[in-house]
Amino acid sequence: MAKAFTEAVCALLEMVPAGFVVTYGSLAAAAGFPRSARQIVRILHTQSRSRNLPWHRVIAAGGRIALADYKGGNLQRQLLRSEGIEIGNDGRIDIHRYFWDFRKFQDGGIA
């Protein structure tokens, strides 16, 4: 199960285009495990570099960046802004404006 979940998460994340974000929970749900949002962190930590995943497009519920500034939060903000995503003074992203909804873009039953 863990390998299948990891593969599904990576495939789904690769579908998220520049200029959009997903939440940890929406990514887990689209992969078929709606209660596994925390596992997304593990997958991003272990797979992002080797698979060149767009890890920066994954944010916490409510539109906030979960990473501390010194642990990649500053880099994540920089990467998101370079894709045209506006980040408010409160550090939040307008989830309604930039959210990529996997349910609208199903691909062969992956989501």
pLDDT of residue 107: 53
pLDDT of residue 109: 45
Domains of the chain: 2-101 (1.10.10.10)
pLDDT of residue 69: 87
pLDDT of residue 1: 58
As a whole number of angstroms, the distance between CA 81 and CA 11 comes to: 23
Contact 66, 25 (CB under 8 A): no
As a whole number of angstroms, the distance between CA 75 and CA 21 comes to: 15
pLDDT of residue 82: 98
pLDDT of residue 89: 87
Q: Is the dihedral of CA 96, 97, 100, 102 positive or negative?
A: positive
Query: Quick one: the chain helix, strand, coil %, rounded to 5?
Result: 55, 10, 35
pLDDT of residue 102: 85
Tokens at 45, concatenated? 């930590």
- For 20-64, the DSSP string reads -BEEHHHHHHHTT-TT-HHHHHHHHHHHHHHHT--GGGEE-GGGB
pLDDT along the chain (111 residues), means of 10: 90 96 96 94 94 97 91 94 95 95 66 41
DSSP character for 105? G
Contact 37, 28 (CB under 8 A): yes
pLDDT of residue 43: 96
